[in-house]
Amino acid sequence: MSDKIPVTVLTGYLGAGKTTLLNRILSEDHGQKFAVIVNEFGEVGIDNELVVGADEEVFEMNNGCICCTVRGDLIRIIEGLMKRRGKFDAIIVETTGLADPAPVAQTFFVDQDVQDRSRLDAVVTVADAKWLADRLKDAPEAKNQIAFADVIILNKMDLVSEAELREVEGRIRAINPYAKLHKTTKCQVPLNAVLGQGAFDLDRILEIEPSFLEVGDDHDHDHHDHHGHDHGHHHDHSAPGLKHYHDEEMQSVSVRVDGDMDPTKFMPWINELVQKEGPNILRSKGILAFKDDPKRFVFQGVHMILDGDSQRDWKPGEKRESKVVFIGRNLKPDELRKGVLSCVA
């Protein structure tokens, strides 16, 4: 069997520039061939042999997991595309402006046939620099898309002042400090910033640090830390300070523990947590040092679905520490922190 085909999911609220980004990806001279799954025909300006229309049919799985929804049409389309595997190198899924990215992502965890043949590379969200702040107030879909993203293309930066840009960036970071953020005009972004991210690849969860290196002050949510103090390197950057916002509804919480965790405590805790709080937890990730285990344990989750594995050895001299991050709605930072700390070895 050949390698799994990478799948990039493009989200973004209506009018943010998803189609612009898609057309850029397709028109660039990169020598790669894409199969494109779109929700509306006619918008893709490039003559591409493999453009498939999708219906965005979201199905519940009968597996007792209330938020375990999948995209039925995606399962069918990927099955069909795989018959012509040699015709393309990667798949791009464009979702509608109002779509929740979770069912798309969950499809890649839940359906074995899809999982056997393809892998989710990253969720890329295009955001409109001028209107995003408003949409975050009135459109829950827009907030979901930002919270879920691995890569955020903050587009139409030419339409806003520098102060407005900082403002919207602050709003984004209040929700999702971990996504890679690129500020663009007309989605002018190098393709290697969008494709080949491996964001769902356990082997590539090397570190989970907030990505906003431009930040001037250290309003990192790491203030929930147990005893870790690692914000040193954020100070080295001279970019103007990002305003700190707090989003009432959607937040991220990170908890760090110096030293080892007890897997017999942590595993049941995290499983129970996502069973109970799964609908509110959009994404979760962690790198853990388990007691008596020379290897790093990494996990990631989408709502109630968790995927974890032992990764590489802790390197000699590398500090054995554990870090867990959550992005979600109405998270309870203190409870999460207490929960993680209760699993210390």
Total residues at interface with other proteins (CB under 8 A): 25
In this structure, how many other beta carbons lie within 10 angstroms of the beta carbon of residue 163? Answer: 9
Report if residue 294 touches other proteins, rule: CB under 8 A. Answer: no
Give the pairing type, strands 34-38 and 51-53: parallel
C-alpha 291/C-alpha 288 separation (Å) is: 9
Applying CB under 8 A, among 40, 66, 80, 319 the residue interacting with other proteins is 80
Nearest to 255 by CA among 280, 220, 212, 282: 220
Hey, what's the torsion of the CAs at 308, 313, 316, 322, to 10 degrees? 10
Applying CB under 8 A, among 30, 85, 204, 229 the residue interacting with other proteins is 85
CB of 1 to other proteins, least distance (A): 7
Report if residue 43 touches other proteins, rule: CB under 8 A. Answer: no
CB of 99 to other proteins, least distance (A): 16
Task: Give all strands (DSSP E) within 108-149, no chain letters.
Answer: 118-128
Report if residue 59 touches other proteins, rule: CB under 8 A. Answer: yes
Nearest to 94 by CA among 133, 118, 115, 124: 124
Applying CB under 8 A, among 55, 272, 313, 318 the residue interacting with other proteins is 55
Q: Is 144 strand, coil or helix? A: helix
Report if residue 63 touches other proteins, rule: CB under 8 A. Answer: yes
Place of tokens 């691995």: 150
Report if residue 76 touches other proteins, rule: CB under 8 A. Answer: yes
Place of tokens 């309870």: 332
CB of 112 to other proteins, least distance (A): 6
CB of 115 to other proteins, least distance (A): 11
Residues 98-127 that bind other proteins (CB under 8 A): 111-113
Instruction: Name residue 342's beta-bridge partners.
Output: none
Contact 340/255 with Cβ under 8 angstroms?
yes
Applying CB under 8 A, among 28, 43, 49, 309 the residue interacting with other proteins is 49
Applying CB under 8 A, among 3, 29, 31, 41 the residue interacting with other proteins is 41
Binding region for other proteins (CB under 8 A):
1, 41, 49, 52-53, 55, 57, 59-63, 70, 72-73, 75-77, 80, 83-85, 111-113
